[in-house]
A and B are shown apart, each in its own frame.
Chain A
Amino acid sequence: MLQRILGGVLVLVGLVAAALGVASATVWRDTDTVVATAKPTGDGTLVVTDPGVLGLVGGDVTVSASVPEGQKVTLAVGRDVDVAGWVGNDPYSRVTGLSDWENLSVAEGEPADPDAEEKPETGADPAGSDMWVAEATDENSVTLRWSDRPGRWTLLAAGVGDDATAPTLELSWPRAVTTPWLWPGVGVGAVLVLGGALLLVLGGRRARARRADLAEQESRDGDGTDLHDDGPSAGGLGAPFAPVRPGADDEPAAWPPSPTTDAAQETPDSTEEPSGEGETPDDGAARDEAAGTAEVPLAGRLLRRSRRRQREEPVDAPSEASPAAAPAATGTTPEPAPFGGLPVPAPAVPAEPTAHQPVPAEPAVHEPVPAEPPTATGALRMTRRELRAQEEARRAAEQGGMTRMLRAITGSIPAVRPAQTEQASEQAAARPDTSTPSGRAAAWRATWGFGDASRTGQAADPTTENDGENR
């Protein structure tokens, strides 16, 4: 329920964000030009801008000056020294900057030399001076464009004539108006809407699932059929995988004359003492099981691969068995000798000291356990680790909604476990070499299920194992 509410809120917020983003680029968009006006103050017919005012907002400025009807006005741009020199002691208005976005601040200019006795000229025309780099003059109003350049450039505006008045200036700069919030707004909005929608959908599905759960609460094992459920699917899809290891283990065990098999399987049980260490292989087995279930999404490929491996194993195992068995035979304790054939299938074993020879046997016994329902071999109790794994799997199955979804996407739960890597390397070792044509042919056949791939591959290339590792 919370999910659905949150989903709704997210959708709403997303829509608002997108709308605000669009609005920032349309309704609230700044104008493309900044237009500021300056009204002259005090006496005089001259208006002078401070250096830097022309380039205040942008490099390009359009200046227009207007005077009352019937008068003449001149605009000129020159170096600050030149303009100041031209103005001399005449009273003038000084534009010092922007007071806001629509008005220029104007101050009364101080005369260059207050003591000068020259009578100020009124209505003098700056037009035509050699010093100006740009100028314009006209009746009533005039416009001048100026592109800012380095240096202290100053604008001089003058009302010209006997009864001239200082012109009113209007500076307008084109402005590059950006809409920085349009795409972020729309993007964030879209993400929020999508997220909300996802939550809504998932919420709905979860509610449905809960209803279904209520109905089937008794027979939760049935969950295994749910492809999205990575719970204890061992009974379901995981099942085909389960025999992989036990099968491989069993068969070599059966390869030598079998009477020993039973004894071998019994022995670990009777020797309870090393069971503490024995947990290590147990762990491996449990993880194997977990890994087996985890690989479900890759079912198609793995199914094929495991089938192939099953076929390969009989060929492979004995060769592996003999070197492994040799150290066992030469071990200090004579006891393990009877189990000679047994330790072989547990790949983790060779790392263990030979003294613990019985230990490796254990997985052989225990391994079938996780693969089958716990009750399959009544004689065996589950280890704590196995119980934990089972509990984990159960919990995983219970988890639903987002988490499950995410897990399906990210594959985060089937964390790589030591046993799995070993298995993988085994698989790799078993795979036909693809570096030779015959090997590739074998691989192709194996992939598509023609003929006995394993045999062909092996026969074609006896060094498969090494090559596989090198690959």
Chain B
Amino acid sequence: MNRRTTRGLAVASALVVSSTLLAGCADELPQPQAGEAFTGPVLTKEQDTQVFTAVADTVAKADKELKSSALKPRVTGPAYEVRKSQLAVAKKRDNAEFVTDIPSESQQMIIPTTEGWPRTSFSITTSTEDLETPRLVAFEQASARSDYKMWAWTQLIPGQKMPAFADAGIGSEAVASDDDTLAATPADALAQYADLVTLGAKKSSFAKGFELPDGDLVAAVAADAAAWKEVPGFEDSGTEYTQKYKARKDEVRAVRTADGGALVMGVLDGKTTVKAEEGAKVPALSETQKALLGDADQTNTLTTRYTDMVALYVPAKDADGKIRPLGYSHVATAASN
């Protein structure tokens, strides 16, 4: 046992003691590490489902009570307008058959990645119990402190193929109404479609930019006109039938599709006027018109206003394809004479 060993042992024991004492000391304070910024969808699928459910519940409750005020918390914009009218008509008629059924289950969610507000998400519902085509519903969160509300719905046109969207887990980019990467800006596309609806596929100059399916709004409006013209004596009495549809400029919501195109939803204000000769009485043609007119006396004119929600697919500018109507909702919301 020489001196070196002794010193070594002394050093070793000193190390042990000091390190043990040091062990009692606390660690350093952790600093907050901000994770990666969010780039994905603003809602998770679960959240979007909750939104959908909340809206469906609210609508169902309002439908049951036929009280449009109950819609307020979760329905807004054109959807609120139309629904309010539908509920009023239903109440008057005491029959809710013309109230659009909106399934409470979603089969596809299109969730935006918008950082700011308003934010719009879309959802494709399942088919209805009556086996009607699925609805395409748009939800909007107008501001950070407001809830997502149903902004519009359309009934999909049978046989129309929906464009592909980014997965709900990735999120879809919102498209501005004046986005110029498309064959037509969303606002323009709606305006052109309105022209097409007004004039019909044969007369409108925009017809060549559209690929119209059989059962779209153009056909529906034409059918309306035809129905009037089939009324006995319509032609002979020199009755005029005019129709005018106009797209609302600021009520446009669009979202990018997977192929770079866009799904555009908007509102067309329609107005049809039936003007018979002086002294003639123009009856309401549909039950809705009747209900909307109420007890007012019949006159020689009948003006019906429509609030039509439409959905279009607008392809990308350089893409090969035409604008396709995907769905619509054609509801008379006012009538006067």
Q: Which residues of A contact B (CB under 8 A)?
A: 2-3, 6, 9-10, 13, 16-17, 20-21, 24, 28, 30, 50-53, 55-57, 79-82, 85-86, 88, 96-98, 100-101, 124, 126, 128-131, 133, 150-153, 180-181, 185, 188, 192, 199, 401-402
CB distance from A17 to the nearest CB of B (A): 5
Chain B, interface SS category:
loop
Q: List residues of chain B with CB within 8 A of the CB of A20.
A: 17, 20-21, 23
Known: A96-B32, A131-B43. A10 touches B20 (CB 8 A): no
Query: Are the C-beta atoms of A24 and B34 separated by less than 8 Å?
Result: no
Given contacts A82-B42, A82-B144, A131-B42, A16 and B34 within 8 Å (CB-CB): no
5 A–B contacts, CB within 8 A, in A order: A6-B9, A79-B38, A82-B144, A85-B143, A130-B47
Tally A-B pairs: CB < 8 A.
Answer: 112
Q: Are B32 and A51 in contact (CB under 8 A)?
A: yes
- CB neighbours (8 Å) of A80 from chain B are 34, 37-38
Residue ranges of B at the interface with A (Cβ–Cβ < 8 Å): 1, 6, 9, 13, 16-17, 19-21, 23-24, 26, 29-38, 42-44, 47, 50-51, 54, 115-117, 141, 143-145, 147-148
* CA gap between A24 and B21 in the complex, in Å: 9
Instruction: Give bound CA distance, A79 to B37, whole Å.
Output: 9
Contacts A97-B31, A152-B37, A401-B1 known; 16 new A-B pairs at CB < 8 A: A2-B6, A6-B9, A10-B13, A24-B23, A28-B23, A50-B34, A52-B32, A52-B34, A55-B32, A88-B144, A97-B32, A150-B36, A151-B36, A152-B38, A185-B16, A185-B20
With A20-B20, A97-B32: A129-B116 Cβ-Cβ less than 8 Å: no
Q: Is the interface of A mostly helix, strand, loop or mixed?
A: mixed
Indicate if the CB atoms of B145 and A24 lie closer than 8 Å: no
CA of A82 to CA of B47, assembled, Å = 14
A10 CA to B8 CA, complexed, in Å: 12
Which residues of chain B have C-beta atoms less than 8 A from A96's C-beta? Answer: 32
A348 to chain B, nearest CB (A): 39
Contact among A28, A56, A86 for B145, CB-based, below 8 A: A86
Assess the A10–B29 pair: CB atoms within 8 A: no
Chain B residues with Cβ below 8 Å from A28 are 23-24
Q: Which of A150, A181, A401 has the most chain B CB atoms closer than 10 A to its own CB?
A: A181
Residue of A86, A153, A188 with highest tally of chain B CB at under 10 A: A188
Separation of A24 and B32 alpha carbons in the complex (Å): 28
* Cα separation A53 to B144 with both chains bound (whole Å): 23
| Choice from A2, A98, A152, A180 contacting B1 with Cβ under 8 Å | A2
| Residues of B close to A180: CB separation below 8 A | 23
Report chain A residues within 8 Å CB of B47.
130-131, 133
> Hey, which chain A residues are within 8 Å of B51, CB to CB?
130
**Does B23 contact A150, Cβ atoms closer than 8 Å?**
no
Q: Which of B20, B24, B43, B115 has the most CB of A within 10 A?
A: B20
CB distance from A395 to the nearest CB of B (A): 16
Across the interface, name the chain B residue whose C-beta is closest to A34. Answer: B30
Does B30 contact A133, Cβ atoms closer than 8 Å? no
Asked if B147 and A130 make an inter-chain contact with CB atoms under 8 angstroms apart, the answer reads yes
Is B16 a contact of A56 with CB atoms below 8 Å? no
B20 and A199 form a contact (CB under 8 A): no
Do the beta carbons of B1 and A150 come within 8 Å of each other?
Answer: no
Which has the most chain B C-beta neighbours within 10 Å: A17, A85, A101?
A85
* Chain B residues within 8 Å of A101, by CB: 26, 29
Residue picked from A3, A50, A52, A150, most chain B C-beta under 10 Å: A52
Contact of B24 with A24 in the complex, beta carbons under 8 Å: yes
Q: A17-B17, A188-B16 are in contact. Are A151 and B38 (CB under 8 A)?
A: yes
Q: Is the pair A100, B117 in contact by a Cβ cutoff of 8 Å?
A: no
Of B1, B30, B43, B147, which one neighbours A6 at CB under 8 angstroms?
B1
CB-nearest residue of chain B relative to A403? B1
B20 and A181 within 8 A (CB) = yes
Question: B32 near A53 (CB under 8 angstroms)?
Answer: yes
Q: How far is the CA of A101 from the CA of B25 in the complex (A)?
A: 13
Q: How far is the CA of A30 from the CA of B16 in the complex (A)?
A: 21
Residue from A57, A85, A130 in contact with B117 in the complex, judged by beta carbons closer than 8 Å: A85
Query: Which of B19, B30, B145 contacts A88 (CB under 8 A)?
Result: B145
Do B32 and A13 touch (CB < 8 A)? no
A152 and B36 form a contact (CB under 8 A): yes
Determine the distance from Cα of A152 to Cα of B33 in the docked complex, in whole angstroms: 9
Instruction: Provide the bound-state CA to CA distance between A107 and B37, in Å.
Output: 22
Q: Are A6 and B17 in contact (CB under 8 A)?
A: no
Residues A24 and B42 in contact, CB atoms below 8 Å apart: no
| Minimum CB–CB distance for A104 against chain B, Å | 10
Chain B residues closer than 8 Å to A2, beta-carbon distance? 1, 6
Q: Are B145 and A124 in contact (CB under 8 A)?
A: yes
- A128 surroundings in chain B (CB, below 8 A): 147
